[in-house]
């Protein structure tokens, strides 16, 4: 009997289906050893030797796996194929005291993939383990050494992270760009023209044969001068360019592009996307979902070709296997892009699957199949139209051949122009000018933040979701109604302290260089001990120096309120979750009150007690909800924003989220 150990019970069930009676498949339920929770757990003086412990929740699992291993002829470690999976395999070997376990890896949980992996087992790759160990130790050092500094100099309960702090810096700096932004006025001039009763629009692009810059027409007077110049002008077609243009399909998904696509299309957080993808992988529907590679197996390319030709016809296939090149540094080319395990397993063929899993599978399947399809073809027309010494331009586009768009719909605009030829005279229907202002840079959303992290080489596929979750859990950033990141006051303060005093820790280039050094460890070109030493020695000296130099931030503000318990003045303090009122005699007097800002008062009487007012509040994690200001006397609360209207069905108050208005009574189904 051979024992196969994987991380999750779902994965173990799927693999069990493909193996015969000679195998037993068990789950470790994730990590089985880690650094201790309440101490640094790293012997700095002894070459950064980590102290690993078995968490309480894993002790029972380890005991059972030890019994299973003792009864087995051989133990096979089949954890995920990335560094974290390799690390879990090594920790299993150490915790179970396995002498010579076999290690197998696979990109997909299918019968051929499992059988092929079993034919060529290997030893645990200690280079990958060391790279993951170095990351864990560096993160622990920063977290355990820098967080107490923030407690002493700002407020208790704060945390700093090696990579998360860089992400926070990006968000804070973007917010400051927006605050400093001064909009610039500019104007566009356009003409609505007509030929043979068919109207179309053309935009002004040139004057005296020279291109007009976007910001060149600065105000209404300049725009009006152009309109005056064109008074009674003739509009003559100067040139017409007709050509066929192609739009190529996008590559299959990597972790980063999948998280970006689900954020843009479905509004899903990266953490949610990865959780759903994990289930799809463990159930054998898709390949491994933590990857930065665009590589595709020869078998998958052949399967895609056969499916496309059979389903859509030979014209829809690209004509050859399309192979994509990964541009990111340190990408694991031995890995594959995210794709369906079977090309011919259409979304319609999956029955009884969770709706969100089906939604994600459909997106992955469409993207992969489309990546092997022919380009979409458009008939494009570009017409330049002369009017006095000005040139207008009209663009037309019509879809000629769907190609990959048959499978992976993407937005495009069709513009139908009349049949234009050189020297055609056109009728002017309307000449117009429109005022615009330049826009500030957009705040980051999940998609754009992940794209930026990837661009600068910050983090790796498995870290994007935890980075984003962590800075929100710490209440350093929140999301506005457009689901874009806005730094909290505390997040801004923490960032400023770190940037001023530990610029290297939050430097984009320095953090990217650390990732490259971790890649070198994974490739056997560097040692984890050297990386930790090179980082720690200057960091420790700098930290010791900053403890002496940096004064504690005074984040308190005086108020005219008096403490109801001891009669001392009330002051406004800054805490981990924002500002609050507190007695100035703390810790002798521990009286505190929440701050209900006037701008948070919705001007709506509480529908429950009829006495209090509805105000916006925050949970400890920074999530906004709405409640009565008479709390705890009245416990009315709602997640969606109440409006001053009542339900026609049950007379409860109505709430609004976006354009959707519904009843706050959970037992009432009223929606409009």
The CATH number of 255-371 is 1.10.290.10
**φ, ψ dihedrals at 240, nearest 5°:** -130, 125
- DSSP annotation string for 527-551: -HHHHHHHHHHHHHHHHHHHHHHPP
Average of per-residue pLDDT values in the chain? 91
Query: Where does the pLDDT of residue 454 fall: very low under 50, low under 70, confident under 90, or very high at 90 and above?
Result: very high
Two structure tokens written together for 525? 């070109």
Question: What is the reported pLDDT for 553?
Answer: 84
The CATH number of 2-124 is 3.40.50.140
Assess whether pLDDT exceeds 50 at residue 143: yes
pLDDT digits (tens, 9 = 90+) for 192-216: 999 999 999 999 999 999 999 999 9
- Predicted structure pTM score: 0.83
pLDDT digits (tens, 9 = 90+) for 594-651: 775 544 667 788 888 888 888 887 776 556 788 888 887 888 888 888 888 888 888 8
Question: What is the reported pLDDT for 333?
Answer: 47
Question: What is the reported pLDDT for 596?
Answer: 59
Question: What is the reported pLDDT for 620?
Answer: 60
pLDDT digits (tens, 9 = 90+) for 377-405: 999 999 999 999 999 999 999 999 999 99
101 neighbors 93 (Cβ within 8 angstroms): yes
Question: What is the reported pLDDT for 354?
Answer: 93
Q: Give percent above pLDDT 90 in the chain.
A: 75
Assess whether pLDDT exceeds 70 at residue 44: yes
459 neighbors 450 (Cβ within 8 angstroms): no
Is 288 designated active site? yes
- CA 484 to CA 660: how far, in whole Å? 20
Assess whether pLDDT exceeds 90 at residue 121: yes
Assess whether pLDDT exceeds 90 at residue 123: yes
Query: Where does the pLDDT of residue 134 fall: very low under 50, low under 70, confident under 90, or very high at 90 and above?
Result: very high
Question: What is the reported pLDDT for 330?
Answer: 52
Lowest mean pLDDT among 42-46, 61-65, 638-642: 638-642
Highest average pLDDT, of 287-301, 625-639, 656-670, comes from 287-301
Q: Which CATH superfamily is domain 185-248+376-437 in?
A: Topoisomerase I, domain 3 (2.70.20.10)
Catalytic residue among 23, 235, 281, 288: 288
Residue ranges per structural domain of the chain: 2-124, 134-180+443-549, 185-248+376-437, 255-371, 558-663
pLDDT digits (tens, 9 = 90+) for 476-509: 999 888 899 999 989 999 999 999 999 999 999 9
134-180+443-549: CATH topology is Topoisomerase I; domain 2 (1.10.460)
282-304 per-residue burial string, b: 16 or more CB within 10 A, e: under 16: bbbbbbbbbbbbbbbeeebbebb
Ramachandran category for residue 217: left, alpha or beta (phi over 0 → left; psi -120 to 50 → alpha): beta
77 neighbors 103 (Cβ within 8 angstroms): yes
Bigger pLDDT: 234 or 647? Answer: 234
Query: Where does the pLDDT of residue 573 fall: very low under 50, low under 70, confident under 90, or very high at 90 and above?
Result: confident
pLDDT digits (tens, 9 = 90+) for 296-335: 999 999 999 999 999 999 999 999 999 998 776 555 545 8
Alpha carbon distances (Å) from 593 to 553, 578, 643:
22, 12, 26
Question: What is the reported pLDDT for 659?
Answer: 73
pLDDT digits (tens, 9 = 90+) for 551-564: 888 888 899 999 99
């Amino acid at each position: 009997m051979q024992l196969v150990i994987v991380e999750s019970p779902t994965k173990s069930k799927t693999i069990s289906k493909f193996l015969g009676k000679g195998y037993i498949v068990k789950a470790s339920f994730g990590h089985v050893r880690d650094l201790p929770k309440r101490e640094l757990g790293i012997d700095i003086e002894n070459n950064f030797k980590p102290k690993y412990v078995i968490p309480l929740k894993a002790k029972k699992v380890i005991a059972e796996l030890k019994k299973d291993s003792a009864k087995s002829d051989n133990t096979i470690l089949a954890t995920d194929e990335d560094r974290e999976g390799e690390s879990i395999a090594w920790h299993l070997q150490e915790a179970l005291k396995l002498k010579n376990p076999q290690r197998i890896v696979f990109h997909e949980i299918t019968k051929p993939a499992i059988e092929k992996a079993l034919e060529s087992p290997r030893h645990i790759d200690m280079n990958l383990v060391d790279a993951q160990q170095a990351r864990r130790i560096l993160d622990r050092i920063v977290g355990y050494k820098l967080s107490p500094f923030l407690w002493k100099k700002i407020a208790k309960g704060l945390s700093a992270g090696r990579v998360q702090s860089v992400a926070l810096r990006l968000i804070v700096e973007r917010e400051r760009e927006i605050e400093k932004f001064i909009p610039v006025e500019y104007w566009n001039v356009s003409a609505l023209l007509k030929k043979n009763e068919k109207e179309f629009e053309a935009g002004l692009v040139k004057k005296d044969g020279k291109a007009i810059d976007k910001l060149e027409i600065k105000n209404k007077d300049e725009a009006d001068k152009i309109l005056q110049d064109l008074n009674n002008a003739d509009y003559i077609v100067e040139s017409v360019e007709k050509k066929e243009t192609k739009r190529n399909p996008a590559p299959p998904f990597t972790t980063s592009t999948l998280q970006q696509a689900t954020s843009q299309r479905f509004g899903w957080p990266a953490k949610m996307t990865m959780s759903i993808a994990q289930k799809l992988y463990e159930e054998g529907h898709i390949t491994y979902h933590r990857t930065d590679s665009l590589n595709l197996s020869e078998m998958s390319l052949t399967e895609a070709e056969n499916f496309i030709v059979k389903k859509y016809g030979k014209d829809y296939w690209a004509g050859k296997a399309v192979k994509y090149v990964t541009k990111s540094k340190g990408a694991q080319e031995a890995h594959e892009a995210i794709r369906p395990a079977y090309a011919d397993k259409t979304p319609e063929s999956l029955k009884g699957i969770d709706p969100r899993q089906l939604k994600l599978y459909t997106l992955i399947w469409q993207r992969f199949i489309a990546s092997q399809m022919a380009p979409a073809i458009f008939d494009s027309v570009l017409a330049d139209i002369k009017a006095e010494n000005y040139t207008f331009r009209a663009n037309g586009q019509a879809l000629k051949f769907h190609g990959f768009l048959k499978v992976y719909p993407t937005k495009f605009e069709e513009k139908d122009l009349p049949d234009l030829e050189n020297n055609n005279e056109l009728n002017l229907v309307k000449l117009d000018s429109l005022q615009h202002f330049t826009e500030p840079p957009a705040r980051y959303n999940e998609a754009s933040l992940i794209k930026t992290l990837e661009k600068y080489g910050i983090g790796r596929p498995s870290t994007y979701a935890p980075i984003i979750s962590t800075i929100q859990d710490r209440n350093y950033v929140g999301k506005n109604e457009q689901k874009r990141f806005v730094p909290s006051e505390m997040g801004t303060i923490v960032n400023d302290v770190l940037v001023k005093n530990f610029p290297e820790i939050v430097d984009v280039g320095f953090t990217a260089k650390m990732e490259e050094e971790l890649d070198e460890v994974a490739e056997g070109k560097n040692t984890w001990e050297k990386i930790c030493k090179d980082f720690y020695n200057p960091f420790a000296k700098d930290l010791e120096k900053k403890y002496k130099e940096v004064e504690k931030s005074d984040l308190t503000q005086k108020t005219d309120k008096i403490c109801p318990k001891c009669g001392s003045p009330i002051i406004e303090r800054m805490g981990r979750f924002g500002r609050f009122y507190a007695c100035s005699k703390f810790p002798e007097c521990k009286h505190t009150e929440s701050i209900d800002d006037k701008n948070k008062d919705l001007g709506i009487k509480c529908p429950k007690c009829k006495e209090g007012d509805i105000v916006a509040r925050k949970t400890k994690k920074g999530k906004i909800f709405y409640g009565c200001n008479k709390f705890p006397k009245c416990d009315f609360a709602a997640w969606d924003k109440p409006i001053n209207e009542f339900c026609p069905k049950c007379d409860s108050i109505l709430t609004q989220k976006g354009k959707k208005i519904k009843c706050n009574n959970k037992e009432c189904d009223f929606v409009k």
